Structure formats: C-alpha cells, structure tokens
Structure 1
Amino acid sequence: MKFRWYCWLAALIPIALMPQTQAEEINVADHGVLPGEDATYPLLRLIQSVEGESDITLVFPKGTYRFAPDNALEQFRAVSNHDNSLKRMGFPLFGFKNITIDGGGSTFLFHGRISPIVIDSSSGATLQNFSIDWDRPFHSELTVVENNKGDDTFTVEVDRDRYPYTIKHGEVLFDRDGWSDPFGSNIVFDPKTQSPIYDTKKYIVNYSKPVKVTAVGKNRIRFHANGRALPPVGSVLITYGVNPTSRLCPAIHVANSRDIHIENVTVHAAGGMALIAERTENVTLEKMVVTSTSDRLVATRADATHFVGCRGTVKLENCLFEHMLDDGINVHGAFVKIEEYLGDNRFIGAISHPQQWGLMFAAPGDKVAILSRETVLPFHQTSVEKIEVLNEERFIVTVSDVPDDLPDGPLSMENLTWYPDVVMKHNTIRQNRARGALITTKGKVLIDSNYFSSQMHGILIEGDNKKWYESGGVQDVTISNNVFDNIGFEGGPVYPLLASPLLTDEQRMGEGHFHRNIRFLNNTIRSFNGLVAQTRSVSGLTIAGNTLEFSSDYPANSEYPSIDLHYCDNAQIVDNTATGFDHALTIAQSADSTDVEIKDNIGFQAESK
C-alpha cells in the first residue's frame, strides 16, 4: 500500500493556517436595492436568488431604505405573545445557513403593517449595523395643555403631521397608515424624566367604553376623564391601540433556529416587540438598542426582547433598552393545559393563552413534566414520543409513560428540555413601562453589572398557570453588582426583586417550593420607597451585601416591608446596609418560612414572627 504522504503533511498544518471558508459578499445595490426607493421587492428577489446557499453576506451601502407591504411576501405567521395573522415581511430569511445582513449604518424605514425581519429554520444568522423604524409608529403622543376639575376634562394638543386623526360621532380615530385605531390602551409619560409619570395608573383613561372627546380648535382635543385623575399640564398621554390588532408587527421574529447573533442593531418602533424568539437555540445580543427617536417619547409597542421555549444560552451584553411600553427582557417556557387523557399514554393538550396559539410546544424526544394546575408543582416526568397538531390551539401528545393513577383535578404539562441559560452583563434597562427583566427558566442565570430603572419590578421571577401561562420555576439564579435606581415609580409594593409564582384564588402552595437557589448579592439600590425584595415559595435564598441608599426623586413611601419572605426555606439575609432613611427598614417573614438566618444588617430591623 502506498504511503499517502500528503495526508500526513496536511495533518501537521495548523488549522489556523488552512484556508477558511469566506462568506460571499453581495452588494445589494448591484441588485436594485437602493436608498430612497421601495426596496421590498428587489430585496425579495435577491433573497430568493441565494436560497439554498451558505455563508452569504448582504451588504447595504449606508442610506435610508424604504419598505412597504404592497409588494412584500405574505405568509400566515403564528408569533408567540403577539396576534397571529397573515404577515407581510421585509426580510423573509427561511432555511439559511450563515447568512449575514450588514446594514452599514443604514436605516430600514417601514410603512404600515409589515414585519421587518423574520428568521425561521436557519442557523448562524447575523444581523448587524442598522436601525429599524416606521415612518408612522403604532402609538400616538398627545401633550396635555389644560385640565379642568370642574367639568372633569383635560385638553391635549396633537401634532397632526406625525399623529393624524379624525373625530367622528364624539370619538377620536388615529390614522396609522392604511387603518384607523380608536383610543385604546394608554399611559401618561413625564417628558422631563422620559418615563411613565409617577403613579401613572391613576391617570389611565377607561377605554372599555367609547371615550368621548370634543374638538376644541386646531389640533386640540378635549377628553372627558370619566372620574379618573386628570393628567398634569405638560405631561404626555400615550395611546397605543386595542387588542387583538395592537401586536401584529414585531420588528424581529426568530423561530426554529439556532446560533443567532444581533449586534449594533437599533429598533426605534414596532407594532409589538423589538425581538421575539421562540424554539431557538443560542441567541446573542451585543450592543442592541431599543429607544425612541429624538421627536418621540415612546419606542416599541411591547417588550424590547422576549424568549419563549428557547434553549442553549441567551446572552445580552452592552445593550440599551428604554422607552418601550412593556418589559426589557422576558425569558420563559409555557404551561399547556391537559384537556383530556385518551388512554395509551395519549393526551389532548391545549395552548393555554390565545397569544401563544401556534406555539411549538414539544417534539419527539423532549422531556416533559406533568403537574397539578392547582399547586403548579410537577409530579411526574416523561418524554414525548409523538405530537399530532390538530390546529393552532390543540394537539395530541403521546408520552413514553404515565403514572398508574393520574391525580384528580386539572393538570398541565411543561417542556423541560427547552429552557436556556441566561447571561446579562453591562446592560441598561430604564424609562419603560412595566418591568426590567422577567426571568423564568430552569437554566443557569447570571445577571451582573447592569442598570435597571423601571416603572414596575426591577427583576421579576414569576411563573404562572393562570394568565400568561409562563412556566419555568428557577433553579440557579445569581443577581449581582447591579444598580437598581428608583424601581417602582408606579407606586405600591414594587420591588427590585420579586420572586414568586402567580396564583389564582383557586390555586394553593403545594408540598415543595416553586423556585430554588436565588442569590441577590452586592447590588446598589437607590430607592424612595426602601424596598429590596419580596419572595414566595423559594428554597435556597440569599440576600447579602446589598447597599440601599435613600432617593428623594419621588415621594417617600415606607408602607411595606423592605424584605418580605413568604413560605421560604434555607434563607440568608445578611450584611445588607441601608442609609439615609429616617426610620429602620423592616425585614418580615411568614410563620411558614423555615431555616431563615437574619444578621448583621445595618439600617434594618427584623420583625418577629
């Protein structure tokens, strides 16, 4: 046999010196995709021309590229936590391997109901160096110029060029770009802080019935408050549509994919979330920005980022999320209802929330838990052998085994395979409605060296089988070295950390704890209300080394315990320091909390059980 010397020689050559696969760069201008023109159809033809190819980079010379729905590819899309519909897409990226969209600093400007970027069944996709905006956003901003307690009215001024409207039969309709929205969900912002105004919930206008308005001169509308508090003069009333049509157009939708990288991408508006990812493995965000433009107070209609049923690692570093009308990040799985046991290890399952219909709950080989819907605690683990989809709501799932005696009462199922690790470092989440971060995943979680300043809880570790059906009792969470600045300016018992399952009146605590191993360490908290953490059903809790400083930015409030434990076990509350408050802050624990150590906390006092 001849000695194949060239194979031996090749084995000695370092991999770094061997030829590497080079991505093919395609200048989109060479294919008729040009700034200032409708790029929708030329880009679609270009994308279709490279289908099936790998290692492609589409390069956009810097400019403003316009996209309209008229010539966009259309497909029915089920998008978790949004409204399912026929969706027209600007960048339909299906089945690609290692495709990169490099915007070169460009703005992608969209018109009307269109989903800018959809990535499905792809691996190694990269989005970089561009911004997404709409010429007309999915909300309206109304500046309050008068209020009158005597007749229970307030008057707003509207820039009709940016937020055109008509008044018909005493109601206002906002022209969004091909459709009209009635006055719907609303919130009041303070332009000085660029955030929701303090205690904003008292100003919400009830829109369950038509909101009566009167035209009172050019660009001015008088609202009847119907008994609600009148928003202050100078504040800005934001209205952003009604369900089920207010979450139709997320900026970026990723599904059934892996190894997705988003870097230096800015989202200024969206008719939904800036990014929604589902059934995807490994997502990295580096220097992603969600923020309003200089002439608006509000950015996206919903969350900055949202991850449903993902796995691998969700990693965010050096990102800025601000001015959105919902959370900064939400990571969770989904509880699905068991409607009926058919025998032979087969169940009829139902997607529990209408805005999760169409969710891919599981595939053969996935490990699942069966749990009581009453206690939200699992009692059996098994694996999926077969899934038969009946429609976007219901499916038949066959599992490898079931208990000999299934318990009475309502049951649910949870996918244990699709939960990601989460790494968040050096991010800023601020000036938004709702929470900073919702983290409900069984993976390993590290939240370190971030800045949070949100209207509601800073970090919410929840899980519920009652409303959104978001699953994922945590197992290993470290929250360290972060700054929490004036968390909870909506008023009430709103904490930098809230860890608790959300239960209905019919649900109860079971034997065991829903969350485990949460560490809240060495954080700095600037606070007007003196609140640190509230926890329920947690085993293995450490709150240590945190510094709490008084802030006079909002009205002082000391109505609630600073640290509040309910049904917790193996907890340590040690070495925390509070300064600047005119009274000692309270550490409270319920009688059903066990093995709790409280010591060496300065500026706090522990309540007796």
Structure 2
Amino acid sequence: MNRIICLIISLVGYCGLWASPVVVEVSPQPGNDNQNMIASIEKASLYKGKPVVIKLHPGVYDFSRSESLEKLYYVSNTTSESENPNPVKHIALLLKDLENVTIDGCGSTILLTGEMTSFVVDHCKNILLKNLNIDNSNPTQTECKVKEVGDDYMLVEVHPASRYKIEDGKLTWYGDGWEFSRGIAQSYDPVKDITWRSWSPMDGLKKAVELRPNLLYLQYDKKPQAQCGLVFQMRDAIRDEVCGFINRSENVRLENVNFYYLGNFGVISQYTDGVALEHCNFMPKPGSGRTNAGFADFVHVSGCKGKVRVVNCNFSGAHDDPINVHGTHLRVMEYLDAKTLKIRFMHPQTYGFEAFDKGDEVELVNAETLCKVWEGRIVKAQLVNPREMIVSLNKVVPATVSSLSDVVIENTTWTPEVEIIGNRFSRIPTRGILLSTRKKSLIENNFFYGMQMSAILVADDAMSWYESGPVYNLTIRKNTFLQCGDPVILISPEYRKYEGAVHKHIVIEENIFESADPSVSAIYAKGVDGLVIRNNYYEMKKGENPVNVVDCTNEKVEY
C-alpha cells in the first residue's frame, strides 16, 4: 500500500513538472506601457513561484524616465560618489523576489526615452528573458559623420537620433535627464569596420553653426583630426544607469535578446548564482544608421558563482570591453583583533554592496605578489558604510600576515565557472574578453576582428581596478583572431614583486592568429605555472617569436 501511495505522489510531482505555466498577456498601449508592465509583474508575483509567462503581444512598448520605477542600487564598476552622488536607478522592468517567471517579448521592443535602466532582476530565481529588443529613442551616445574637412573646420551630418542645441556658437548634446558638451569620443571607419578611441570634435571647438537640420559647420583653431567618411561617437564618462542589472539571483537566462542600445553601462551580473546569455545580439539595430550600441562594457560579471555561459552572441560597437568576468579585492585597513578585519572598497567606481557574507570562503592575498598568505571562512560580515565592511573570521590571522604592508581579501566562494563559446567580436576599441576566475573556464570557437587592444586579457590586480583573482584552469581553444592589438592574448597579473606563479594550468591551443601589423605578437604570458601553448597557426608579420613567456614554470610551448 505504501508503495502505491509513493508511486501516486511521484506521478503527481512528475506531471507537475510538465504543467502548463500561467500566461499573463500584455499588449502595447501608448501612454500606459509603464503601468501595464508593472501590473503584469505584480500579477506574476501572486502565483508564489508557480511558473508564469508574461507574454508581450508584438509591438513597441514605450518607457519614459519620468514614469520609471526609482530604486537605489550600488553596482560594481559604475560611478564614484563624486561622479554620481545619488546612485538611484530609473528602471523600466523591475523583477524582484520572483521565481519561475519568463518574459517572452515575442519580438517586441522595449523602447526607452531618457537615461534609464531597462531591467533589474533582484533576488529572483529561475528567470528567463527572451525574444525581446531593447533600444533607446535618444541614445546617450551621439553620432555624426564627417562630410568635409578644411584647414580649420569640418562639416558633419548628425544622426537623426542624436539631439543637439547651439547657443552663442556653443554645441551641446542632450536628452531626457542628460546633456554634455565635453566628453569621450571614438572614431569608426566604415571601410575597415573598426573603431578606436580618438580625438573628440568637441575638443577645441570654437564655434558651431547649423546650416540645416542635422548638418553642422564646426570651426577650430587648427585642422581637425578627421577625414571624410569617419563617424564620431561621443559621450560623457558617467555610468549613472546600467542597461540591465542581475543582482543576488539564481539561474537567470537571456535568450534571443537584441540589445540595440545599452545606455551608460551594460548588463551587469552581481553576486548571482548561474547566468546564461544565448543567441543575443549586442549591436546597433540593422538599418538604423547607427554604428555604436554601448556606452561601456556590454556584459560585466562581478562576484558571481555557479556557471556563466555566453554562447552564440554577437558583440559589435562597444565603447569598452564586451565581456569582463572578475571578483573584487577589498583592502585590509585594520586588524581590530586577530580574527576581525576592517576592509575597504578601493576603486572609486566600485563600492556599496555586501561583498562578503557568513559562510563565504576567503583568502588573504599579499597585494605586492598576488600570492595567497592565509585562507579561512567568514563567520560574520557587516557593511558599516558604503565603503567599508567589518568581517569576523573563523581562525586567527597570524602575525606574519598582519605585519605585511598591503593585504587584500578575496571572496573565493563567489567565483564562477565560465564558458564563452561561438561568439563574434568586432568594432571594439579595447579588449574582447577579460577573465579572472579560479574555476574551470573555456573560451572556444570565437571570432575576434579588429580589437584595438588584446583580444583576451587575463589579469588579476590589487592596485588599480582591484579586480580579482587568479586563474587556475583556463582553456583558450579554436578561436580566430584577425587584426587584433598587441599582444593578441595577454596573461599579465599585476604583481609588483614576483614570489611565485599567480595563475595555473592555462592551455592555449588550435587557435588562428593573423595580423598584418609587424609590431603585433600573438601571446604574452607571465606568472603562470603549467602554461601549455600548442598547435596554433600564426600568420604574423612580426619578425621575432610570436610568443613571449616571463616568470612561468612547468611551461610547454610549441610553435
């Protein structure tokens, strides 16, 4: 009898797995899209974890900054206190404390107006965003194309989505919640299909004149650093919003999402267990005439665990690195006793979040050497102010460690496995991938074209960005690198004094390296124990050896 009851219970549970989810349908309604989406998300929350699909009927959904949800979030690698004293985000879609919810866009567009954060997933589990486009009617990065260059002037054609005003000859770019007249610029060459950080048309500008709508005469003291056909992409430097924020969540997936514009920063995953991006496009909308899609990084993973997967995505038109995966080193400021530390966020743009919690495994690291000097566990952690935490440890920190002049602490529990497979990278002024994690990682079958710096950077530092940590099991395999910066793969932990390898077990194999630049080498690696380089193809113009190895042990290097 008991067997029969157990069988019935098992069958009921099995059938429950295949039960149809609740469907909440939403249609675009001009002027009501903000409130309708809020209502649909609230309705989904009432089902208390039962699978729910919020289904958007195809169309354009308008979200304005003035009607957005406002919520304070501290986000890694964004802004300092002086840059942005009020880090409140203006949010279109806020998913908080939800479980088993899917937003199916069915090809719809989330169209933002003004500086906004398109979505936040906060303290959620099993969330899927799919079949969706994200765009902005007035991107915070402006674009203009050079039509004519003279000895002290140029004519530029402004993209229709870029709004400007001219007062007493002074040119200002503006939108809902933002404006700038100085800032950062990139140049895009449509013939070579590459971008690079460059002189800005706003530098040294004496006078601007509108000849007709979107055609401007710009006058300078000397010949502009430009040529006909180039496109200038301009922005300020303040990352006060993000495109998407995934915070303290579990199993979050983005599938078939087109990010046509990522305002102020990219999609940030912070202290989340399991993140996947599949078949997503981070690039300007086809036919839009825009050449740029992102204010800074496209995908930023800070202090996560589980598995991070980025598969079959396109990354084109960023102003910084498309993918950056790392943790955060906090500096030990004071030993309150042998088991209690006061620690501090050091980089101006990263602070305010709880980087440690009870039960987290941690390591103390000599900041000069980046070598571990102690390991243990957190028994209590408190964020005492946005910059500082006090943590209690499970065992004594010996005097040999506390006497060191510069020690940082890393959370080793919150480090992810990473798979970056089958992606394409282009129109990038910096690196393609930055990766610093001790868990097993694979970078495979990706295509990199025209990175202006290294296509892949493996660092680890405790003196600049404070982005941790060591890499212990990384394979870089079957990728193609065309016309990238020097060196194409850079493994360079930022130690000040060498006392042993920082990274371990890195394999670089079966890749294709091609460059017509005689100054470009293929691989530079330092501070690695167990480096393997084999079976790669080099079509390089550099006369000397394409591989340079420094401070490595147990290496096996083949050409």
Instruction: Please confirm whether the aligned pair reaches a TM-score higher than 0.5, indicating the same fold.
Output: yes
1:104 aligns with 2:99: no
- Among 17, 23, 29, the residue aligned to 2:21: 23
SS in 1 for 2:376: strand
Distance 1:97-1:184 versus aligned 2 partners, 3 A rule = same
| Match in the other structure for 2:555 | 571
* Kept in 2: contact 1:118–1:253 (CA 8 A): yes
SS in 2 for 1:124: strand
* Kept in 2: contact 1:38–1:65 (CA 8 A): no
1:540 aligns with 2:530: yes
1:479 aligns with 2:471: no
* Kept in 1: contact 2:338–2:398 (CA 8 A): no
Provide the aligned C-alpha RMSD in A.
Answer: 2.3
| Match in the other structure for 2:116 | 114
Deviation (angstroms), 1:177: 2.4
CA distance in 2, matches of 1:338, 1:359: 17
CA distance in 2, matches of 1:568, 1:534: 11
CA distance in 2, matches of 1:231, 1:370: 49
| Match in the other structure for 2:236 | 241
Corresponding pairs, count = 542
Correspondence 1:139-178 to 2 at 5 A: 139-148=141-150, 150=151, 153-159=152-158, 161-168=160-167, 171-178=170-177
Distance 1:109-1:13 versus aligned 2 partners, 3 A rule = closer
* Kept in 2: contact 1:170–1:212 (CA 8 A): yes
Deviations 1:419-455 (Å, cap 9, x if unpaired)?
1011122111222221111111001011111111222
* Kept in 2: contact 1:249–1:270 (CA 8 A): no
* Kept in 2: contact 1:112–1:177 (CA 8 A): yes
* Kept in 2: contact 1:35–1:63 (CA 8 A): no
1:447 aligns with 2:446: no
Distance 1:373-1:220 versus aligned 2 partners, 3 A rule = same
Gap runs ≥5 in structure 2? none
1:60 aligns with 2:56: yes
1:264 aligns with 2:248: no
CA distance in 1, matches of 2:208, 2:325: 43
SS in 2 for 1:355: coil
| Match in the other structure for 2:463 | 466
SS in 2 for 1:49: helix
| Match in the other structure for 1:254 | 246
CA distance in 2, matches of 1:19, 1:372: 49
The AA in structure 2 aligned to 1:532 is: A
Deviation (angstroms), 1:37: 4.0
Deviation (angstroms), 1:170: 5.2
Deviation (angstroms), 1:277: 0.3
**Percent sequence identity over aligned pairs:** 27
Deviation (angstroms), 1:411: 1.6
CA distance in 1, matches of 2:407, 2:292: 40
- TM-score normalised by length of structure 2: 0.91
SS in 1 for 2:228: coil
| Match in the other structure for 1:355 | 349
CA distance in 2, matches of 1:13, 1:390: 50
Gap runs ≥5 in structure 1? 489-493, 551-556, 577-609
* Kept in 1: contact 2:528–2:552 (CA 8 A): yes
SS in 1 for 2:555: strand
CA distance in 2, matches of 1:155, 1:86: 39
> Greater CA deviation, 178-187 or 284-293?
178-187
1:522 aligns with 2:510: yes
| Match in the other structure for 2:358 | 364
Deviation (angstroms), 1:166: 2.2
CA distance in 2, matches of 1:571, 1:116: 46
> Greater CA deviation, 77-86 or 462-471?
77-86
Deviations 1:157-205 (Å, cap 9, x if unpaired)?
1327422212346542101224311220111110223321xxx45x424
Deviation (angstroms), 1:356: 1.1
* Kept in 1: contact 2:159–2:290 (CA 8 A): no
* Kept in 2: contact 1:154–1:230 (CA 8 A): no
- Among 104, 121, 125, the residue aligned to 2:127: 125
CA distance in 2, matches of 1:9, 1:75: 48
Larger RCO (alpha carbons 8 Å, 6+ apart): 2
CA distance in 1, matches of 2:343, 2:386: 11
Deviation (angstroms), 1:267: 0.4
1:71 aligns with 2:61: no
CA distance in 2, matches of 1:371, 1:5: 56
The AA in structure 1 aligned to 2:463 is: K
Deviations 1:217-246 (Å, cap 9, x if unpaired)?
34214253779x71222111111113xxx3
Distance 1:47-1:15 versus aligned 2 partners, 3 A rule = closer
